[in-house]
């Protein structure tokens, strides 16, 4: 029988650690201790090399728009929203929103900076133009 209270899978899971960081006002990124690559979305094993060994670092928050799209909705339903794929300075890519500007003004190659925002009561990583 395996002791589930020891080893790399002991304690809170990676997503819980990530969410606790957001609640504490910290944007944390998970990195593999063996191949040194960014692991995003948080997970128990590295998606690059399969290692269960990882650690957490505070992210710079800097990124570049890789791809962007506008979700069109009626004004009474919240209006148009930007949806973007963002390449992080530390490596990795995530899907988020660029806010505080017209959704159609977000362009590929634009420098952005992350902040912890809230949508419908859930804390998330959002971006603004840098």
Q: What is the pLDDT of residue 50?
A: 95
Residue 17 in this model has a pLDDT that exceeds 50:
yes
Contact (CB, 8 A) for 54 and 64: no
Domains of the chain by residue range: 14-58, 62-129
Contact (CB, 8 A) for 80 and 72: yes
pTM recorded for the entire structure: 0.83
d(CA 42, CA 30): 6
**Closest to 90 (Cα-Cα) out of 111, 51, 127, 63:** 63
**Closest to 13 (Cα-Cα) out of 38, 37, 36, 44:** 44
pLDDT tens-digit profile of 43-61?
999 999 999 999 999 999 9
Q: 62-129 maps to which CATH number?
A: 2.40.50
Residue 18 in this model has a pLDDT that exceeds 70:
yes
CA–chain centroid gap for 108, Å, is 18
d(CA 81, CA 72): 7
| DSSP category for residue 126 | E
Tokens representing 9 are: 């899978």
């Amino acid at each position: 029988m395996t002791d589930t209270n020891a080893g790399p899978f002991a304690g809170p899971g990676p997503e819980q650690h990530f969410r606790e960081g957001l609640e504490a006002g910290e944007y944390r990124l998970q990195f593999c201790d063996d191949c040194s690559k960014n692991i995003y979305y948080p997970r128990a094993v590295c998606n690059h090399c399969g290692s269960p060994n990882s650690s957490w670092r505070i992210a710079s928050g800097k990124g570049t728009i890789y791809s962007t799209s506008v979700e069109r909705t009626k004004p009474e339903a919240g209006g148009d929203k930007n949806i973007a794929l963002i390449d992080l300075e530390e490596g990795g890519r995530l899907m988020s929103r660029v806010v505080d500007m017209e959704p159609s003004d977000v362009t590929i190659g634009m420098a952005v900076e992350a902040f912890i925002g809230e949508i419908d009561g859930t804390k998330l990583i959002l971006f603004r133009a840098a």
